[in-house]
Homo-oligomer: A and B are copies of this chain.
Amino acid sequence: MQKNTAWLQADLQQLPKDYRTQLINSITGFKPANLVGTRDVQGQTNLAIFSSAVHLGADPALMGLVSRPFTPTVSRHTLNNMKELGYFTLNHVHESFYEQAHQTSARYPKEVSEFAATGLTEEYIGDFPAPFVAEAKVKIGLKLIDMLPITYNNTHFIIGEIVFLQVPTDCLEADGKLNLTQAGTVAVSGLDTYHRTEQLGRLPYAKAK
B-side contacts of A27, CB under 8 Å: 138, 140, 162, 165, 167, 178
CA distance A168 to B197 in the complex (A): 22
B-side contacts of A194, CB under 8 Å: 199-203
Quick one: copies of this chain in the complex? Answer: 2
Does A102 lie at the interface of the complex (its beta carbon under 8 Å from any beta carbon of B)? yes
B-side contacts of A109, CB under 8 Å: 208
| Partner among B6, B51, B167 whose Cβ is within 8 Å of the Cβ of A4 | B167
Inter-chain contact A177/B22, CB cutoff 8 Å: yes
B-side contacts of A106, CB under 8 Å: 206-209
| Partner among B13, B58, B105 whose Cβ is within 8 Å of the Cβ of A25 | B58
Question: Which residues of A1-34 have CB atoms within 8 Å of chain B's CB atoms?
Answer: 2-9, 12-13, 15, 17-34
Residue of B nearest to A175 (CB): B22
